[in-house]
Amino acid sequence: MYAVILTGGKQYRVKEGDVLSVEKLDVENGRKVGFDRVLLIEDGESVLVGTPVLESALVRAEIIETYKDEKVLVFKKKRRKQFRRTRGHRQQLTRVRVEGIYADKSAAPAEEAPAEKPRPAVPEKAPEAKPAAKATEKAVAEPKKPAPKAKKPARQAKSKAAPKAKTVGKKTAGAKPAGKPKKATKE
């Protein structure tokens, strides 16, 4: 006998006695949980298939431990842009042992915590009516004024004071080094 359950957005094929790792469940170690989102039950002679789940089916399990999975490294790189990022991630998982598969919830023993928190029912919202715009009240868009341009800073005037005297061994700020002599061209 086996069943297919849905938990943590994934489907698992389980049978009694199986130990499997699922997405983290907020239940203490040693507690019993019930997976009520059962998609299929097969007992050797008949197969029950849900649409999408079997309403009266239940898979009961015991929490063994909650742990972190191995580290997965995520490396990003953009070539020729000097961009590299390395990140690590360790997913939190819960190890469970399947104790029983029940086609009818009334046959299952009590005292269990729900495996997942029940989802609140989302009420359907009626589309809101938009107020109709009157043809006589058209809004006239005024042309936008261009943004004022930023003024450039005024250049500082050079002082016409006498040039400083050259000192031996030190370069002055205004002096340019002598370049290579130009080659004479034949004409």
| Within a domain: 33 | yes
* H or E segment and range at residue 88: strand 83-89
Measured distance CA(36)–CA(24) in Å, rounded: 17
Residue 41 CB-half CA count within 13 A: 20
Coil, helix or strand for 97?
Answer: strand
CA distance 66 to 29: 7
Distance, in Å, from the CA atom of 165 to the CA atom of 84, rounded to the nearest integer, reads 54
Q: How many domains does the chain have?
A: 1
SS3 43: coil
- Would 89 be classed as within a structural domain? no
Does the residue 122 lie in any domain? Answer: no
- Distance (Å, rounded) from C-alpha 13 to C-alpha 1? 11
Query: What is the helix (H) or strand (E) element at residue 171, kind and residue range?
Result: none
Residue 49 resides in a domain? yes
Please give the angle made by the CA atoms of 147, 151 and 156, to the nearest 5 degrees: 175
**Burial call 54-75: b when 16+ CB within 10 Å, e when fewer:** beebbbbbbbeeeeeeeeeeee
Q: Rounded to whole angstroms, what are the CA distances from 167 to 99, 174, 179?
A: 96, 13, 20
Domain that residue 31 falls in: 2-64+94-107
Domain membership of residue 84 (yes or no) is: no
Assigned domain for 50 exists = yes
| Bridge partners, residue 78, by sequence | 83
Is residue 182 assigned to a domain?
A: no
Provide the residue-wise pLDDT of the chain in tens; the chain has 187 residues. Answer: 999 999 999 999 999 999 999 999 999 999 999 999 999 999 989 999 999 999 999 999 999 999 999 999 999 999 999 999 999 999 999 999 999 999 988 887 776 677 777 666 666 666 666 655 555 555 566 667 777 777 776 666 665 666 666 666 655 555 566 666 677 777 5
Residue 100 forms part of a structural domain = yes
